[in-house]
Amino acid sequence: MELSPRTAPTTAPQPAADGPLRFLDRDHSILAFQERVLDWAHRRDVPLLERLRYLCIVSSNLDEFFEVRAAPHLTAVQNGDHKGLYTIETFEALSQAAHKLVDKQYALFNEELTPAFVKAGIEIVSHGDRNAAQRAWVAEYFEREVRPLLIPVGLDPAHPFPQVANKSLNFIVRLGGKDAFGRENEIAIVKVPRVLPRVIRMPAKVSGKKALFVSLSSVIRAHLDSLFSGREVGQFSQFRVTRHSDLAVDEDDVRNLRTALRLGLQHRHYGQATRLEVSSGCSDYLASFLLQQFNLPPAALYRVHGPVNLVRLQQLIDLVDAPQLLFPPYKPSWPVELVRGQSFFEQLQRREVLMHHPYESYDAVLEFLREAVQDANVLAIKQTIYRTGADSTLMDLLREGVRRGKEVTVVVELQARFDEEANINWSEMLESIGAQVVYGVLGLKTHAKMLLVTRREGRELRRYAHLGTGNYNARTARLYTDLSFLTADPLLTADLENVFLQLASQSKLPRLNLALVAPFQLHRKLIEKIDVLGEAASRGIETRVVLKMNALTDEALMLALLRAGRHGARIDLIVRGACMLPARVPGVSDNIRVRSIVGRFLEHSRVFYLRCGSTEELYLSSADWMNRNMLRRIELAWPVNEPRLRQRIIDECLVACLHDDRDAWDLMADGSYKRVKGAGDPKGHGAQAALMARYAARDNTEGA
């Protein structure tokens, strides 16, 4: 299938609109993406437990939003700023949008999902609804499993407000009467350890044939009185504080990055407070007390009608044995371009290989590395690590490679957000057994996904490589759509060798053959390529730009796209998450369409397609079009020159998304997103559903 011109007429070249161009707000665009994810929790064609999962995903994403994006807005409020990028007004607008989204979450949970679960025989039973036998079991569970881990802290001058960890569950209690020493200290805090499960299944002897659960917060709430012997428990509420958690190190003062990050991790859970969640019934007195303790304005308070941490309800999904309430299991097929059991090296000597995850199994990537580790002719293995997880087969293979005498070099990005601790542990393990561990360039995160194998073949050394748009993480490879590229191209693999050499030695990067690398030339080259297309379009040459990525926020790249569009280039942007480029604005971006695909899998592949007349280019990349990716990270983009592979990428990643009428949303001129006509209809054409069916059919054919 070709990327033919759109059926709708394109707009003729237009002059720039009067007045300064205003890009869309990045933070509001991030929240708008969460709205699109939440839509899956509303969809009746989605299995019930999966609807709950999407609800939890939105909560997890909101947690990260407040951990990473909210602090500058709050600092502006505390400083009284009305000018600049972050102001009191930006905080209020963002807070309003976030409150609206949270209200939608809890309304969905209480009004739709909870009744649906009850109908399915699954229920989280509140204290008031428990019968005598259930209350007795809960009391016994509290005494056995919970009470020994709780230490209530009464506040007084000798016991100030305790350190409350980021996203931890806590209770605040207002007490009547006097303590054992005759004092009237009325506020106490109960911190709940993270080791306790947030959802507990009651045994069959008290639940019958239903799947009945109790929440940990309700268990503690029912027994608060017993924690304060001789005192009267009056007002109380569960609460949870979210803190700024983006680790930062002083690059001018860091002598050992690993040590600096280790120290930073110790303080991450106690950073600046950015959000306070309390029960909907929390008294104004207790809410005001907590806001004062955490130095937060009233708009940072979120009163929720349910558990303060919806994320932990994911435990319910694992505790319920009801496969009919989950998506049917999807088993990835073996990559269609690989012959199972045949040497990867022999196959790559004949042609390059493309793999589309999760439709094709990520196990093939591990098998490629396993063959390299076990092959006596392989002399060296070089690998970048960004997010591989705490339990990784890939890292075990690298360790085995060292044991077998290979020269193993691993570029570990220690500052991969929220994966710092796992990566520090991996780096220490690899160093301890003799691997060469490199931390990249201070101030530039190494985000490129590269695996380079050097093999002796006769009198020559030959290189083989794996490049990816996603992380070397087997778990997320089952959930994210990404592309893997295997090659023995001497020009491209020589480029990778030079990139690894630069990361290790920090020497100047030589002129590369095929690859584009950030922060050196990727940004500039992309702008140049778009400007060339725009200039060609102004001369009447048919031009086409289709870009797929996770986020588009870089101003220079957006301006280049706007220039090209005004000159008549037809531009389609498939941007899953935040997009600051206004689309379809008359006189500004008439020729630019922005679409977001939100499906069962997280769209994660980055594909850049550029066509001028009959000449087309296609690049795969690890980079989104964000300023940080282009100027503050080591990123890689590489061309796919094999027509067969290029067409396959066009068909599966671009055309399929542009024709999706099931899971697609279009960005409107006012910055809002609108479901495409027919979206949400299970009978519609969904790009992901079509690819799942296609690869399942191929696998069945091969099995027959």
Does residue 180 register a pLDDT over 70? no
Confidence (pLDDT) at 264: 55
Q: What is the DSSP letter of 539?
A: T
- Confidence band, pLDDT 50/70/90 cuts, at residue 1: low
Q: What is the mean predicted confidence (pLDDT) over 57-66?
A: 96
Q: Strand 122-124 to strand 480-487: parallel, antiparallel, or no bridges (unpaired)?
A: unpaired
- Tell me the percentage of the chain whose pLDDT exceeds 90: 78
Q: How far apart are CA 209 and CA 203, in angstroms?
A: 10
- Confidence band, pLDDT 50/70/90 cuts, at residue 627: very high
Q: Annotated binding site for ATP, which residues?
A: 61, 480, 576, 604
Q: Hey, do 344-512 and 518-703 end up sharing a CATH topology, with the first three levels equal?
A: yes
Confidence (pLDDT) at 245: 81
547 alpha-carbon distance from chain centroid:
20
Task: Tell me if the bond preceding 358 is cis, omega within 30° of 0.
Answer: yes
Q: Strand 570-575 to strand 543-549: parallel, antiparallel, or no bridges (unpaired)?
A: parallel
Q: How far apart are CA 382 and CA 362, in angstroms?
A: 19
Within 10 angstroms of residue 386's Cβ, the number of other Cβ atoms is 22
Q: What is the mean predicted confidence (pLDDT) over 477-503?
A: 97
Q: Annotated binding site for Mg(2+), which residues?
A: 387, 417
What pLDDT, in 10s, does the model give residues 220-253?
Answer: 999 999 999 888 899 999 999 999 987 555 454 4
Q: Are 460 and 434 in contact (CB under 8 A)?
A: no
Confidence (pLDDT) at 700: 56
Does residue 198 register a pLDDT over 90? yes
Confidence (pLDDT) at 260: 52
Q: What are the structure tokens assigned to 159, written together?
A: 């016991």
The catalytic site residues sit at 447
Confidence (pLDDT) at 434: 83
What pLDDT, in 10s, does the model give residues 629-651?
Answer: 999 999 999 999 999 999 999 99
Q: What are the structure tokens assigned to 55, written together?
A: 């609800």
How do the domains of the chain map onto residue ranges? 26-70+101-325, 344-512, 518-703
Q: What is the mean predicted confidence (pLDDT) over 502-515?
A: 92
Q: Annotated binding site, which residues?
A: 61, 387, 417, 480, 576, 604
Q: Strand 378-385 to strand 407-412: parallel, antiparallel, or no bridges (unpaired)?
A: parallel
Between 150 and 697, residue with greater pLDDT: 150
Share the mean pLDDT of the chain. Answer: 90
Determine the 3-state secondary structure of 340 from DSSP: coil
The pTM for the full model equals: 0.91
Does residue 378 register a pLDDT over 80? yes
Q: What is the DSSP string of 78-140?
A: HHT--SSSS-HHHHHHHHHHHHHHHHHHHHHIIIIIHHHHHHTTEEE--GGG--HHHHHHHHH
What residues have CB less than 8 Å from 537, skipping those under 6 apart? 13, 543, 564, 567, 568, 569
Q: Strand 460-468 to strand 480-487: parallel, antiparallel, or no bridges (unpaired)?
A: antiparallel
* Token pair 């630069």: residue: 502
Q: What is the DSSP letter of 192?
A: P
Q: How far apart are CA 159 and CA 186, in angstroms?
A: 12
Burial of 188 (0-12, 13-18, 19+ CB in 10 A): buried
Span of 12-26, 96-110, 565-579 with lowest mean pLDDT: 12-26
What pLDDT, in 10s, does the model give residues 338-364?
Answer: 999 999 999 999 999 999 999 999 999
Does residue 451 register a pLDDT over 70? yes
CATH of 518-703, one of 3.30.870.10, 3.40.1500.10, 3.40.50.300, 1.20.1070.10: 3.30.870.10
Q: How far is CA 168 from CA 52, 197, 217, 418, in A?
A: 21, 12, 12, 16
Q: What are the structure tokens assigned to 574, written together?
A: 């498939």
What pLDDT, in 10s, does the model give residues 290-321?
Answer: 999 999 999 999 999 999 999 999 999 999 99
What pLDDT, in 10s, does the model give residues 109-146?
Answer: 999 999 999 999 999 999 999 999 999 999 999 999 99
Does residue 216 register a pLDDT over 90? yes
Helix (H) or strand (E) holding 44: none
- Confidence band, pLDDT 50/70/90 cuts, at residue 4: low
Q: How far apart are CA 357 and CA 354, in angstroms?
A: 10
Confidence (pLDDT) at 430: 83
Span of 13-22, 43-52, 506-515 with lowest mean pLDDT: 13-22
Confidence (pLDDT) at 263: 56
Determine the 3-state secondary structure of 360 from DSSP: strand
Q: What is the mean predicted confidence (pLDDT) over 89-100?
A: 96
φ, ψ (nearest 5 deg) of residue 434: 105, 5
3-state secondary structure 611-633: EECCEEEEEEECCCECHHHHHCE
Does residue 11 register a pLDDT over 50? no
Q: What is the mean predicted confidence (pLDDT) over 58-80?
A: 94
What is the largest distance, in Å, between two alpha-carbon atoms of the chain?
A: 89
Confidence (pLDDT) at 19: 46
How many residues are given for the chain? 704
CATH of 344-512, one of 3.30.870.10, 1.20.140.10, 3.30.70.20, 3.40.50.300: 3.30.870.10
Domain 26-70+101-325 CATH assignment equals 3.30.1840.10: yes
What pLDDT, in 10s, does the model give residues 517-531?
Answer: 999 999 999 999 999
Closest Cα partner for 160 from 179, 124, 185, 180? 185
Q: What is the mean predicted confidence (pLDDT) over 466-473?
A: 94
Q: How far apart are CA 97 and CA 300, in angstroms?
A: 12
Q: What are the structure tokens assigned to 235, written together?
A: 């007002």
Confidence (pLDDT) at 256: 54
